[in-house]
Amino acid sequence: MTRRGGRLWALLGWLTVFVLAGCSPSAPSSGPSAAVPSYATPTPSADLVAARRAAGIPDCPEPGDASVPGGLPDLTLDCLGGDTKVRLAALRGPMLINLWAQWCEPCRAEAADLSAFASTQDEVAVLGINYSDPQSELAIEFAELMSMKYPQLVDVEATVRGPLGVAGIPHTVLIDADGVIVARHPGAFHSLDEIKSWVEQGLAA
């Protein structure tokens, strides 16, 4: 079995282990599957960009320049792979933005439902932020395994934690067409219907 194949099977095996609590990068759940690993030698960005595109993950959005009151924090994050940068405060929706990591068990548990939401409708954009996750290569492999065919930013240093009020992951926010945050969802979603209902209520408020 190849190294890549072994990783994919390991990630698939992790999907059988679900927990209800969110993952905190400063204090992840116990057990080897929940530990936050690190690479001794980071994967070159050019390789990550190629891997991201091969996995079917689209390039990141190109927002405008203006921030809005009540919107996302005025921070700039790299697209997964580092080929472009995105200013969060200039993003517009409707858009569901999900913070996740491949080492986070609740994030893995909800991944299939988020992928289904992204692929079964086109009214609400979906954007991932790979959060506090030093293993971008494994994140890309997991995203490919779960058919996460939506753009992904990366926040290795968890810079949005304070400005966005993130206690742990998964953590999801919803912005409207003006870029204003209209709903927050700390913790994992448990079904596609739950995601749909949360989005509908948030945009109707």
Q: What's the number of domains the chain is made of?
A: 1
Tell me the per-residue pLDDT of 38-70, one tens digit each, with 9 for 90 and over: 433 445 588 999 999 999 999 999 887 789 999
pLDDT, one tens digit per residue, over 146-159 is 999 999 999 999 99
Q: 181 pLDDT band (50/70/90 cuts)?
A: very high
Residue 90 identity: A
- Predicted confidence at residue 142, as pLDDT, reads 95
Confidence of residue 168 (pLDDT cuts 50, 70, 90): very high
Strand partners, 76: 87
Query: What does the pLDDT read at residue 35?
Result: 43
Full-model pTM: 0.81
Nearest partner of 134 among 106, 102, 165, 98, judged by Cα? 102
Distances in Å between the alpha carbon of 44 and those of 41, 114, 139?
A: 9, 28, 14
Q: Which domain holds residue 44?
A: 3-19+27-204
Run of H or E including 173: strand 171-175
What share of the chain in percent tops pLDDT 90? 71
**What would the mean pLDDT of 16-33 be, rounded to a whole number?**
43
Question: Burial code of 100-126, b = ≥16 C-beta within 10 A, e = fewer?
Answer: bbbbbbbbbbbbebbbbbbeeeeebbb
Model pLDDT, residue 205: 78
Q: Which residues of 65-90 are buried (b: 16+ CB within 10 A; e: fewer)?
A: eebbeebbeeeebbbbbebeebbbbb
Distance CA 109, CA 125 (A): 21
Amino acid symbol at 192: L
Segment 107-126 mean pLDDT: 97
DSSP string, 124-161: SEEEEEEES-S-HHHHHHHHHHTT--S-EEEETT-TTH
Nearest to 153 by CA among 125, 188, 178, 176: 125
138: domain CATH number is 3.40.30.10
